[in-house]
């Protein structure tokens, strides 16, 4: 359940419509009546997120997942995929009933990212980069808008939807672009409009800054990738600063910036990234 709670805590990187993309608005989830099916931990984190999202959508009572992860092929080569096609069974609370006619379908592209905020970059929407500097928010957003969403209207997209008797022209397109953001350690959170500052979850720090008196008295845990969604908690095997330094150095050799959980002497727990660059 920890991964479910972590997913639900994560906010979308923007609200309503920005960049020509409308964000899906997730209905409130009654977690007390939700009993998730097991999520495999031996698959990529992105695929784990898809499993979580699919279960939550079906649990809402408002949305039915008609199809997800539809592979589009051209001459036996995969050219892309459609993440989710859902039917909106909109419940009218005033009339205490669901929509009676006129089915509404939504194509949703799901994205869940971890970004650090680099204040050196002047333009806010370009400040968000992956901890290993291999990924940029702006590039991913543009790819979603300009390449992934238009696939629905390609010949291959239309053929794929025909098996569900759905006309792509009758589908509304939205994104559900979630993110955890990390600010430079010891600095006030930089301005990032029009992005959602509510996505800020922790800090990032260089190795030089991490190997300082600010951290010597704390204890640490390096979560596994499938734990990156989790809200930090105390029920883990904490390690000392000197021990965690060795583990981080090994990861940095391969240019991997680990997430860490930090438990301070006063009992507070934070999470962040220790970058190698």
The per-residue pLDDT string of the chain (277 residues; one tens digit each, 9 = 90 and over) reads 999 999 999 999 999 999 999 999 999 999 999 999 998 888 999 999 999 999 999 999 899 999 999 999 988 889 999 999 999 987 554 455 555 555 799 999 999 999 999 999 989 899 999 999 999 999 999 999 999 999 999 999 999 999 999 999 999 999 999 999 999 999 988 889 999 999 999 999 999 999 999 999 999 999 999 999 999 999 999 999 999 999 999 999 999 999 999 999 999 999 999 999 9
**152, 103: one domain:** yes
Question: What is residue 100's predicted lDDT score, i.e. its pLDDT?
Answer: 55
Measuring CA to CA, how many Å separate 140 from each of 48, 63, 144? 19, 26, 6
**39, 145: one domain:** yes
Give per-residue burial for 8-35: e unless 16+ CB within 10 Å, then b.
bebbbbbeeebbebebbebeeeeeeeee
**86, 140: one domain:** yes
Question: What is residue 252's predicted lDDT score, i.e. its pLDDT?
Answer: 98
Asked if residue 189 belongs to a domain, the reply is no
Distance, in Å, from the CA atom of 57 to the CA atom of 36, rounded to the nearest integer, reads: 12
Distance, in Å, from the CA atom of 128 to the CA atom of 124, rounded to the nearest integer, reads: 8
**123, 248: one domain:** no
Name the residue among 232, 180, 177, 226 with its Cα closest to residue 39.
226
Task: Extract the tokens encoding 100.
Answer: 């009676």
Asked if residue 193 belongs to a domain, the reply is no
Which sign does the torsion angle of CA 255, 206, 140, 108 carry?
positive
Distance, in Å, from the CA atom of 234 to the CA atom of 276, rounded to the nearest integer, reads: 26
Say if pTM beats, i.e. exceeds, 0.85: yes
Asked if residue 251 belongs to a domain, the reply is yes
Asked if residue 96 belongs to a domain, the reply is yes
For the chain, the farthest-separated pair of C-alpha atoms sits apart, in whole angstroms, at: 65
Asked if residue 196 belongs to a domain, the reply is no
Distance, in Å, from the CA atom of 203 to the CA atom of 220, rounded to the nearest integer, reads: 14
Asked if residue 44 belongs to a domain, the reply is yes
Instruction: List, in sequence order, every residue forming a beta bridge with 261; answer none if it has no partner.
Output: 221, 271
**169, 208: one domain:** no
Question: What is residue 93's predicted lDDT score, i.e. its pLDDT?
Answer: 47
Question: What is residue 99's predicted lDDT score, i.e. its pLDDT?
Answer: 54
Residue 253's domain spans which residues?
A: 203-275
- For residue 55, the SS3 value is helix
Task: Extract the tokens encoding 93.
Answer: 């609370």
**41, 152: one domain:** yes
**72, 145: one domain:** yes
- For residue 219, the SS3 value is strand
**165, 235: one domain:** no
Domain end (from 147, 179, 211): 179
Asked if residue 120 belongs to a domain, the reply is yes
Total of domains in the chain: 2
**247, 213: one domain:** yes
Q: How far apart are the first and last CA of the chain?
A: 34
Task: Extract the tokens encoding 27.
Answer: 């209905």
Question: What is residue 97's predicted lDDT score, i.e. its pLDDT?
Answer: 54
Question: What is residue 102's predicted lDDT score, i.e. its pLDDT?
Answer: 59
Task: Extract the tokens encoding 126.
Answer: 């370009």
**49, 154: one domain:** yes
CB 24 within 8 A of CB 59: no
Domain end (from 179, 213, 245): 179
**99, 229: one domain:** no
**67, 131: one domain:** yes
Asked if residue 51 belongs to a domain, the reply is yes
């Amino acid at each position: 359940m920890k991964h479910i709670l972590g997913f639900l805590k994560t906010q979308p990187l923007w609200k309503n419509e920005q960049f020509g993309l409308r964000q899906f608005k997730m209905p409130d989830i009654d977690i007390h009546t939700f009993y998730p099916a097991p999520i495999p931990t031996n698959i990529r984190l992105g695929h784990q997120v898809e499993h979580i999202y699919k279960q939550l959508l079906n649990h809402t009572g408002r949305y039915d997942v008609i199809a997800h992860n539809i592979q589009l092929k051209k001459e036996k080569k995969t050219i892309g995929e459609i993440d989710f096609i859902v039917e909106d069974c909109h419940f009218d609370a005033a009339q205490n009933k669901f929509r009676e006619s006129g089915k509404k379908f939504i194509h949703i592209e799901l994205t869940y990212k971890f970004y650090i905020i680099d204040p050196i970059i002047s333009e806010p929407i370009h400040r968000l980069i992956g901890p290993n500097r291999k990924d940029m928010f702006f590039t991913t957003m543009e790819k979603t808008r300009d390449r992934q969403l238009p696939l629905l209207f390609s010949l291959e997209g239309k053929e794929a939807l025909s098996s569900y008797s759905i006309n792509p022209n009758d589908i509304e397109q939205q994104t559900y672009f979630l993110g955890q953001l990390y600010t430079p350690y010891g600095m006030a959170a930089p301005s990032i409009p029009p992005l959602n500052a509510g996505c800020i979850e922790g800090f990032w720090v260089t190795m030089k800054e991490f190997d300082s008196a600010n951290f010597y008295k704390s204890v640490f845990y390096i979560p596994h990738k499938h734990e990156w969604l989790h809200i930090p908690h105390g029920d883990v095997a904490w390690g000392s600063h000197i021990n965690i330094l060795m583990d981080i150095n090994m990861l940095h050799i391969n240019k991997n910036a680990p997430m860490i959980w930090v438990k301070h002497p006063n009992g507070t727990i934070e999470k962040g990234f220790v970058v190698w660059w």
